[in-house]
Amino acid sequence: MNSISSLKNVHKLGLYGDHNDKNENQIIKIKEIKNINLFQVVKYKNTEKNISNFKIDGLNLPNANKTSSNPSTRIIWMGPDNWFVFSSKDTRENLNNFKETDFAITDLSHSRSIIELEGEMIYEVLKKGSPLDVGKLKEGNCANTVYNGITITLDFISNDPNTIRIFGLRSFGESLYHSLTDSCLEFGYKSI
């Protein structure tokens, strides 16, 4: 898939902020994630299907505030009976056993701006704009919250090095990018 970047006017590669006299590992890296399939899976309230019997690309649908992942697919919990499935593969084949009488499947591939932050100080960047207690959250967790008033979803990808993906509605993408990069200036960041 080849999608149009929602951040192409703001995401300019280079070094910014207080990056002098710091090595690559001490600054924050910011990356736009694009060309990824995103499907929303919602289980209808009146269905009696047990979600433990359903798998997507070999992954179970995760419980509250959790994610499940393999190298090609990542599933994050968005709310009760509501998940986002991100995949570099064509996910439609994996969703064939989700019957339309039991589940609503929606292609949201172009609906989100996805910004990935990597670096030691990214938790400090989150604390500047979000009321969430991010210190408790680790690899494999996810959370919906706000960042400077913008509704976002956080996906904690890794703790070594600290890596977080931040999803915002596409129309808020540029504002979210500016908010995040303003918060990163103090630590120095590299757009990659």
Binding site for another protein (CB under 8 A): 64-65, 78-80, 82, 131-133, 143-146, 151
CA atoms of 107 and 87, how far apart (whole Å): 12
Choose between 69 and 145: whose C-beta lies nearer to another protein.
Answer: 145
Choose between 79 and 135: whose C-beta lies nearer to another protein.
Answer: 79
Choose between 65 and 175: whose C-beta lies nearer to another protein.
Answer: 65
* DSSP, residue by residue, 1-35: --PPPSSTTT---EEESS-TT--GGGSEEEEEE-S
CA atoms of 170 and 92, how far apart (whole Å): 22
| Smallest distance, another protein to C-beta of residue 18, A | 28
According to DSSP, residue 160 is labeled T
Choose between 145 and 175: whose C-beta lies nearer to another protein.
Answer: 145
| Smallest distance, another protein to C-beta of residue 147, A | 10
The strand pairing partners of 156, in sequence order, are 164
Helix/strand/coil for 187: coil
| Smallest distance, another protein to C-beta of residue 143, A | 7
Dihedral angle of Cα 89, 90, 93, 97, to the nearest 10 degrees: 80
| Smallest distance, another protein to C-beta of residue 54, A | 20
| Smallest distance, another protein to C-beta of residue 150, A | 9
Choose between 129 and 188: whose C-beta lies nearer to another protein.
Answer: 129
